[in-house]
């Protein structure tokens, strides 16, 4: 990719577990980023044949004139997005799960408050004026495509993964009316608030409107393809890499790991594989014609930030990093380099259960809590670095747990392809390799989530015969991280403790 454009977006936290954004703010920032990218790349607007949007799986509310409708108790219309990480709808998720409807079979048996039906039910119960006023509810990626083209078409990825749509039943049977009736949401279908035009990712939606072309700085001849959730774009962006390095691999042997604020674990198969507590199987939600199983950890990058920032040494280490012209993580990684030369196992007695924002999979328990065991009164730089390492290891144990459950139920994962902000951290990658025993493939393109969206745009213009073809041809490996087998026995024991910590928490709850 020849050029990048960046623009910040706003986020609001009006109460605990509430996270909100503005669709206008995100659209304006998107336009700014696209204009900057084309300028930095030194290309003309006519050179851009296609565009596709990826975005978080966040819920957007619009009125009959396509203007924002508040989803906030503040009443501010600009706050018209419930962000993916918002957990306000825990009770609604519990209610939906209590129905034991067959649709739940395709979300690992339980729907999360991070998915759309619980959020929609919360809005109906708590903000009835907004509920009545809203003419369209869209996933954020679909909103961006709609804003670009004026066509209200939904991505098969978003509706299958987050709305309970049964992609394998096609347009006529995808929306299961009995599920929406039993959960009290049937008016969404009656009033066509959630769409009837569902299209696979990478299919052309239409050319840009005159207005959006001007705002994006592109030509009206630019074709917008059906978009995708951001993590799934990352999955597309990296899944083809191991196939180039190991000709014995197929897409079914690769776990795409997308690490950022949270982490997603994407595995595809030719047939549906049901893994309790893990989302899916989702038909054609990432690779067209294949079933997707989607594991996830709700707090990973955010967990590391929280553990580092709430320690009294944080400001001191951050200043030390600035003095050395390093990032905080470069500074801590250098400290770990020195520490591990003296002590190969600095986390021997330090254990973290990383469920600080609940567990998405495979336990599917949004009420799970985090825990740190093995703290002492030591609070020097070495103990701080060890705590940081323990957090990275805890995240990797969570990945191992998800991977093991996937393989135990029928997947055949042999390698990991990884992208996202966390994968720029060499210790995050090495600990994942050591703990899972898998080789980890790193893409040449650092922003592989964006290259995944670019693959969909290329497919929409007809440049490739399929999304899979684009995956194979538009990706390449920067390197491969191999496991250090000398840590295998140590991590086997630590992994046992990792599982026991959750069991102990359940005992505490009983008491």
Q: With 0.75 as the threshold, say if the pTM is over it.
A: yes
Q: Which residues contact 453 (CB under 8 A, 6 or more apart)?
A: 52, 53, 54, 227, 228, 233
In whole angstroms, give the CA distance from residue 105 to residue 286. Answer: 19
Q: Is residue 201 part of a domain?
A: yes
Residues 261 and 379 in one domain: no
Domain interval for residue 357: 301-400+486-510
Residues 416 and 271 in one domain: yes
Burial (Cβ within 10 Å: 0-12, 13-18, ≥19) of residue 241: buried
Q: Is residue 8 part of a domain?
A: no
pLDDT at 173: 84
Q: Is residue 14 part of a domain?
A: no
Q: Is residue 344 part of a domain?
A: yes
Q: Is residue 11 part of a domain?
A: no
How far is residue 109 from each of residues 59, 182, 237, 364, 439, measured CA to CA in Å?
Answer: 22, 16, 28, 9, 30
Q: Is residue 5 part of a domain?
A: no
- Looking at 221, 242, 257, which one is the last position of a domain? 221
Residues 95 and 154 in one domain: yes
pLDDT at 3: 64
What is the number of domains present in the chain? 3
The CATH number of the domain holding residue 48 is 3.30.420.40
Residues 114 and 146 in one domain: yes
Residues 122 and 60 in one domain: yes
Residues 257 and 235 in one domain: yes
Q: What is the mean pLDDT of each run of 10 residues along the chain (511 residues)?
A: 80 96 98 96 95 97 98 97 96 97 92 96 98 98 98 97 94 91 97 96 96 98 97 94 82 95 95 95 95 96 96 96 96 97 97 96 95 96 97 98 98 96 94 98 92 96 95 92 97 98 97 97
- Looking at 221, 247, 282, which one is the last position of a domain? 221
Q: Is residue 263 part of a domain?
A: yes
pLDDT at 1: 46
Q: Which 3-state string (H, E, C) describes 169-219?
A: HHHHHCCCHHHHHHCCCCHHHHCCCCCCCEECCCCEEEECCHHHHHHHCCC
Residues 291 and 305 in one domain: no
The CATH number of the domain holding residue 351 is 1.20.58.2240
In whole angstroms, give the CA distance from residue 303 to residue 260. Answer: 10
In whole angstroms, give the CA distance from residue 86 to residue 357. Answer: 10
Residues 149 and 174 in one domain: yes
Q: Is residue 454 part of a domain?
A: yes
Residues 172 and 145 in one domain: yes
Residues 388 and 469 in one domain: no
Residues 98 and 66 in one domain: yes
| Sign, Cα dihedral of 60, 65, 67, 72 | negative
Residues 306 and 378 in one domain: yes
- Looking at 199, 221, 243, which one is the last position of a domain? 221
């Amino acid at each position: 990719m020849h050029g990048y454009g960046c623009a910040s977006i706003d986020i609001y936290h009006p109460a605990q577990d509430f996270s909100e954004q503005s669709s206008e703010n995100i659209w304006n920032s998107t336009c700014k980023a696209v204009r900057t990218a084309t300028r930095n790349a030194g290309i003309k607007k006519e050179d851009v044949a296609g565009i596709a949007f990826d975005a978080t799986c966040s819920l957007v509310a619009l009125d009959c004139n396509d203007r924002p409708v508040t989803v906030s108790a503040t009443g501010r219309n600009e706050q018209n997005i419930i962000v993916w990480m918002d957990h306000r709808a825990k009770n609604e998720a519990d209610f939906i799960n209590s129905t034991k409807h067959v649709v739940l079979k395709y979300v690992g048996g339980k729907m999360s408050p991070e998915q759309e039906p619980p959020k929609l039910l919360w809005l109906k119960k708590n903000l009835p004026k907004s509920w009545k006023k809203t003419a369209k509810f869209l996933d954020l990626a679909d909103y961006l495509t709609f804003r670009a083209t004026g066509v209200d078409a939904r991505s098969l990825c978003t509706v299958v993964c987050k709305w309970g749509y049964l992609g394998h039943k096609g347009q006529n049977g995808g929306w299961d009316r009995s599920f929406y009736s039993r959960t009290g949401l049937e008016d969404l279908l009656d009033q066509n608030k959630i769409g009837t035009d569902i299209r696979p990712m990478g299919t052309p939606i239409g050319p840009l409107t005159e207005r959006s072309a001007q705002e994006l700085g592109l030509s009206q001849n630019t074709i917008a393809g059906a978009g995708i959730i951001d993590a799934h774009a990352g999955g597309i962006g990296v899944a083809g890499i191991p196939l180039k390095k190991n000709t014995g691999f197929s897409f079914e042997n690769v776990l795409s790991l997308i690490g950022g604020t949270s982490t997603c674990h994407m595995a595809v198969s030719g047939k549906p594989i049901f893994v309790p507590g893990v989302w899916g199987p989702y038909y054609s939600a990432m690779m067209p014609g294949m079933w997707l199983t989607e594991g996830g950890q709700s707090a990973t990058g955010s967990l590391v930030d929280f553990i580092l920032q709430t320690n009294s040494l944080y400001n001191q280490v951050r200043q030390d990093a600035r003095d050395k012209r390093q990032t905080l993580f470069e500074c801590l990684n250098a400290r770990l380099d020195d520490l591990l030369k003296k002590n190969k196992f600095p986390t021997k007695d330090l254990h973290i259960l990383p469920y600080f924002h609940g567990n998405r999979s495979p336990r599917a328990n949004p009420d799970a809590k985090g825990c740190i065991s093995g703290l002492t009164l030591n609070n020097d730089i070495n103990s701080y670095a060890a705590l940081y390492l323990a957090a990275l290891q805890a995240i990797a144990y969570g990945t191992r747990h998800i991977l093991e459950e996937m393989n135990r139920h029928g997947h055949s994962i042999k390698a990991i392809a990884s992208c996202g902000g966390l994968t720029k951290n060499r210790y995050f990658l090495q600990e994942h390799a050591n703990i899972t025993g898998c080789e980890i493939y790193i893409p040449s393109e650092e922003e592989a989530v964006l290259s995944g969206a670019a693959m969909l745009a290329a497919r929409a213009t007809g440049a490739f015969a399929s999304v899979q073809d684009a995956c194979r041809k538009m990706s390449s490996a920067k390197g491969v991280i191999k496991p250090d087998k000398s840590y295998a026995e140590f991590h086997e024991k630590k992994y046992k403790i990792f599982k026991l910590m959750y069991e102990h928490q359940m005992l505490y709850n009983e008491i």
